[in-house]
A and B are shown apart, each in its own frame.
Chain A
Amino acid sequence: MLAAVHTAGRAGRLTGVPLIATDGRRAMVLPLRARDTVLGTLLLTAAEQDTPGSAGRAGVGPDFLADLADRAALSLDNARLAERDREVADTLQRSLLSGTCPQDPRYRVVTEYRPAVHTLEVGGDWYDVFATSAESVGIVVGDVVGRGLHAASAMGQLRSAVRALATAQDGPAAVLRHMDEFVASFAAGQMTTLAYAELSLDSGELRYACAGHLPPLLIEPGGVPTYLWRARSGPLGATAAGRARAEASLTVPRGSRLLLYTDGLVERRGERLQQRLDRLAELAAEHRQTPLPALAGRLSDAMRPAGDDDMCLLALDFADAAPFRAEVPARMSELAGLRAALERWLAAQGVGDYDRFGIVLATAEAVANAIEHGYDFDEGRSVGVLAQVDGDAVAVRVADSGQWRPPRSALQRGRGLTLIGRVMHDLVIDRGAGTTVLMRRTVSPGRRAE
């Protein structure tokens, strides 16, 4: 039956097929036609069985119903076209945003992009991460004015331009100046806003500039999240806005986290922007310990973006360096090598002289204790050492799997432990299967100064 309607509809002959529903109501099947195809059928059923009162609706004739079906078909077709554009734009947007993030143990990045949900169009928000030299990484988040395919393709061009221009060693302000020139010669992209930051992975120097964009949020270990409000200038290519491109720099400690985002994350109708920024800072503080991979999604969920704009979020963790690990054979002659290796590692973390020396001393004492009292000089065994920077402290774990024997000589008793206790601020000795010594030393704030 419906197939017959389709066939007739395509031929343009049939406007409707009257039916009687099983309960006796009158019904009619109409083809939904648009652009020479039948999208579907429209089944209309009378509201109630024929009664004398329904005679007043006698004016609803076949032509009216055919017209209704045509209008419905047109609307449906438009919606489908819009949806397809949206899908194309969304695919384009996502493909432009995809790409490999540089792999470097010194930092990690996670990103989140969400298209607007309340409008059918995709925007031109973007993020990017790229190495600007062997020792530095550039991160950018930007927002192209406009929606749909045009915005998405313009975004792709601008994203590539930033990437290409930022490889030069000029710094953020120069990158923005180059971007102004690029936008001036390019038909799209005017009024694009972007935040660009470059982090030196050795010194922790962070240089940044914001062209009409919301400020990056910096979360230092143990610190209150802080918006980076300096280095502001107008959007790209904006003649009315300040074109003198400013940049600012500061040194961020290892373990810091940096958030770049677009306005879709924070702007909500009826709420003041400052409140929303405060909220984001609060959430960033709450999620300080959230591992990076989960962070972007959780922050985005918790901010409950309004959904009438697309949003993207980029979070970068400036990594505390990889932990120090060693398996030390249970021989006192191994201590010198362990000390030298640990010393080098601590120096690479920027730990200052006395802190470094104290930590090396305490660790070597704990290992010597394990060799002597845990293993009784059994050279076939080994002692595990793990050292990690943890916020503003260095934590060390020394573990053996031996059977603790009390010191033989009263003179030796506890001397090493006394030293450990004086050097380290926290000390936990766990004697279960083997002995594990956990110790921490808070290192002076200047430890990471260049």
Chain B
Amino acid sequence: MSGERQVRVYCAGGCEVVQLVGEIDHATAPLVERDVLVSVRASTGVVVDLSETTFLDSAGLLCLDRVITVFSDRGAPVRVAAPAAGMVRFTLDLIGFLPGLLAEDVPAALAEIAV
């Protein structure tokens, strides 16, 4: 299992959307983290889209934590899109992920941080 094709980046509403696809776990999280950090400029705002993420474990959470820290340090507002009923949201809730950073989906996230 490799991290390629697990990260998709596109622009929407003047922001960058980073879509993480599939399972982000101990095996894939380091590669995903590297791919995200090299492919996102984070000049305006960033949405990390987890709606296509099927699994997130503690390594995935650590990865998420790091990229959010990096983007915030660059001065870009960040939101995480994760559907409320999904399993990824279950993990985020378990760890007590900051509710203020969470949005239901990409449009809702963009609406919060759009310039």
Partner of B94, one of A333, A353, A368, A423: A423
The segment from B19-27, B75-83, B106-114 that touches chain A is B19-27
**Does A174 touch B at the CB level, under 8 Å?**
no
Q: CB-nearest residue of chain B relative to A331? A: B27
The proximity string for B residues 1-32 relative to A, scoring 1 for CB distances below 8 Å and 0 otherwise, is 10000000000000000000001011100000
**Does A110 touch B at the CB level, under 8 Å?**
no
The segment from A9-17, A200-208, A226-234, A409-417 that touches chain B is A409-417
Partner of B26, one of A332, A354, A358, A411: A332
Which residues of chain B are within 8 angstroms of A411 by Cβ–Cβ distance? 62, 65
Partner of A361, one of B1, B27, B57, B62: B57
Which residues of chain A are within 8 angstroms of B61 by Cβ–Cβ distance? 415, 419
**Does B115 touch A at the CB level, under 8 Å?**
no
Which residues of chain B are within 8 angstroms of A357 by Cβ–Cβ distance? 87, 90
Nearest CB on A from B39, distance (A): 23
Task: Please state if A416 and B58 are interface contacts (CB–CB under 8 Å).
Answer: yes
Q: Contacts A365-B58, A411-B62, A419-B57; is A336 near B25 (CB within 8 Å)?
A: yes
Task: Please state if A364 and B94 are interface contacts (CB–CB under 8 Å).
Answer: no
Which residues of chain A are within 8 angstroms of B62 by Cβ–Cβ distance? 411-412, 415
**Does B67 touch A at the CB level, under 8 Å?**
no
Partner of A364, one of B1, B57, B65, B87: B57
Task: Please state if B27 and A365 are interface contacts (CB–CB under 8 Å).
Answer: no
Task: Please state if A335 and B90 are interface contacts (CB–CB under 8 Å).
Answer: no
Task: Please state if B90 and A358 are interface contacts (CB–CB under 8 Å).
Answer: yes
Distance between Cα atoms of A372 and B30 in the complex (Å): 14
Partner of A416, one of B1, B57, B87: B57
**Does A422 touch B at the CB level, under 8 Å?**
yes
Task: Please state if A333 and B1 are interface contacts (CB–CB under 8 Å).
Answer: yes
Q: CB-nearest residue of chain B relative to A415? A: B58
Which residues of chain A are within 8 angstroms of B25 by Cβ–Cβ distance? 332, 335-336, 339, 364, 368
**Does A418 touch B at the CB level, under 8 Å?**
yes
Nearest CB on B from A54, distance (A): 102
Q: Contacts A332-B26, A336-B1; is A422 near B58 (CB within 8 Å)?
A: no
Q: CB-nearest residue of chain B relative to A420? A: B58
Q: Contacts A357-B87, A415-B62; is A336 near B27 (CB within 8 Å)?
A: yes
The proximity string for B residues 54-77 relative to A, scoring 1 for CB distances below 8 Å and 0 otherwise, is 010111011001000000000000
- The residue in A331, A333, A411 that gathers the most chain B C-beta atoms within 10 A of its C-beta is A333
Which residues of chain A are within 8 angstroms of B55 by Cβ–Cβ distance? 336, 339, 361
Can you name 11 extra interface pairs (CB under 8 A) apart from A336-B25, A418-B95? A335-B26, A336-B55, A339-B25, A339-B55, A361-B91, A371-B26, A411-B65, A418-B58, A419-B58, A419-B61, A423-B94
Q: Which residues of A contact B (CB under 8 A)?
A: 331-333, 335-336, 339, 353-354, 357-358, 361, 364-365, 368, 371-372, 411-412, 415-416, 418-419, 422-423
A-B contact pairs, 27 of them (CB 8 A): A332-B26, A335-B27, A335-B57, A336-B23, A336-B55, A339-B25, A339-B55, A353-B87, A354-B90, A358-B90, A358-B94, A364-B25, A365-B58, A368-B58, A372-B26, A411-B62, A412-B58, A415-B58, A415-B61, A415-B62, A415-B95, A418-B58, A418-B95, A419-B61, A419-B91, A422-B95, A423-B94
